[in-house]
Structure 1
Amino acid sequence: MNASRHRSILLAVTGTALALSLTACQDGSGTKSSSAAAPSAPAASSPAATGTSDVTDATGSTGSEASAGSTGASTGSAGATGKQAAASTPVCTAADVRVTAARQDGPPYTRIVLTAKNTTRHSCRLTGFPHIQFVESHKQDVAAVAKSKPAAPVVLTAGAPAYALVKLSNGGTDENNEPVSAFAVMLEGDSTVITVTAPGSEGIAVDPAKALTGYWTPELRNGADDF
């Protein structure tokens, strides 16, 4: 009985040791499984990588837009620079130009052309229209025709001319025309009176109430200067 009992105790101890050994192996297996899953951790950083890509795209897009905006600004800047250069050019005065008058070709000879030529060695800006008074009895300046105003400033380089078409009358027989051999012209921004000799040996016939003048332009333009 004692031997039988001793064998039973030995078997029980052996079984317990085997069970403990199996439990330890299972715990080690679990540890290895957990360790194998660790490399999958970088996958969790994928959203961050996507975010980086989005940032890069946005930066690239912003760079393109900035570049396009810069180009537009550069073009606008060039136009602005041209206007600023014209605006910085000094205004022409009576001392800078010589104003002459000639008949416009063709009947009924109711128009003359004024020419203002820059006689200096520097550029000047001719603004507005000629302020004309034909006769002493009519002190008001001749009215200007708005449609003849040029789109860009008129800058006269040394020796360059500008022109203004002037209507004297409607060419009718019942008008109150007055003979004019010379008349007064003033430039905008300068109160100096320039005396201009009328063209022709007999001068010109003017109805001050019907007279009109165009703006100074680099050239006479068909349509805009016809009035």
Structure 2
Amino acid sequence: MPTQRKSTVLAVTAVAVLSLGLTACGGDDGGTRDEGAADTSSSAPSSSSSSSSSSSSSASASTATTGGSASGGSASAGPASASSGSASGGTAKNAASSGSKAPASCTYKDVKITAAKVDETPTEHIVLTATNTSGRVCRLDGHPLIAFGEIQTAKDVPAVAKSKPAAPVVLQPGAPAYANVRIALGGAHEDNKVVTSFNVNLFTGSAPTEGSIVVKAPAGGLAVDEAAARTGYWTPELRNGADEF
């Protein structure tokens, strides 16, 4: 009897152990599922982190790209501005080379002046021709400053304003300029004086330059009425109307 009872106790114990084992297995399954859920939960943040990282990377790439474009734009704008500056500089150089800086004024050493009678009777006008003999470009300002007689005492011949050109005359080497000069109002007059030569001064701007050019009168001399005498401005060519007075 004690042996049978002992066997019964052992059998009951075995069944209990088996039940506990099954329960434990069931718990393992549930635990595995729970653990799986936990893994999913923990992988979600991981995935979210990856997405965040990916988004951040994309954002960074986008920012980098945008920054690159902006930087590139700025860089492009820089050369464009520099190009504009260069163009302006170029424009500034072209203006200078196109004659914005005028050459120096002609002096009495730079030109030769001759006088010729106009074809009329009696002679009332002569034409002065100034030729650049200097071998360089020079500017012929204003009008000839003429003195019929001794330069210290002779009356300066006034200029006719309507004959003034729009810009100073620039003479290339060997090139001429002209000035029409009225010497009398026709016919013999007691105030007329005969001159065989006369003096011409040039201008630098509005001021007469030093040095007088002695001009020889045409053959037979000139009968000059100083009160009636007038001179035109230097011009590249004689113009009808403006140079007739």
TM-score (norm 1): 0.70
Structure 2 distance, partners of 1:97, 1:6, is: 138
Q: Does 1:60 align with 2:79?
A: no
Structure 2 distance, partners of 1:153, 1:8, is: 128
Structure 2 distance, partners of 1:161, 1:172, is: 28
Contact in 1 for aligned 2:127/2:178 (Cα 8 Å): yes
Q: Does 1:161 align with 2:172?
A: no
Distance 1:48 1:63, change over 3 A: same
In the other structure, the counterpart of 1:142 is 158
Amino acid at match of 2:36: C
Q: Does 1:117 align with 2:131?
A: yes
Contact in 2 for aligned 1:130/1:185 (Cα 8 Å): yes
Amino acid at match of 1:44: A
Helix, strand or coil: the match of 2:203? coil
In the other structure, the counterpart of 1:39 is 54
Q: Does 1:184 align with 2:203?
A: no
**1:80: how far off?**
1.0
**1:116: how far off?**
1.4
Q: Does 1:93 align with 2:107?
A: yes
Question: Superposed, which structure 2 residues align to 1:16-31 within 5 Å?
Answer: 16-29=27-40, 30-31=42-43
Amino acid at match of 1:24: E
Structure 2 distance, partners of 1:5, 1:223, is: 142
Contact in 1 for aligned 2:160/2:230 (Cα 8 Å): no
**1:132: how far off?**
1.4
**1:192: how far off?**
1.9
In the other structure, the counterpart of 1:219 is 237
Contact in 2 for aligned 1:168/1:206 (Cα 8 Å): yes
**1:105: how far off?**
5.0
Helix, strand or coil: the match of 2:238? coil
Amino acid at match of 2:222: G
Q: Does 1:131 align with 2:145?
A: yes
Structure 1 range deviating more: 65-74 or 8-17: 8-17
Structure 2 distance, partners of 1:127, 1:85, is: 15
Helix, strand or coil: the match of 1:52? helix
Contact in 1 for aligned 2:178/2:235 (Cα 8 Å): yes
In the other structure, the counterpart of 2:9 is none
- Runs of 5+ in structure 1 lacking a partner? none
Contact in 1 for aligned 2:140/2:168 (Cα 8 Å): no
Structure 1 distance, partners of 2:154, 2:164, is: 24
Structure 1 range deviating more: 217-226 or 91-100: 217-226
Q: Does 1:196 align with 2:219?
A: no
Helix, strand or coil: the match of 1:60? helix
**1:221: how far off?**
4.2
Query: What RMSD, in angstroms, separates the aligned Cα atoms of the two structures?
Result: 3.9
Contact in 2 for aligned 1:156/1:162 (Cα 8 Å): no
Aligned length: 220
Structure 2 distance, partners of 1:106, 1:84, is: 41
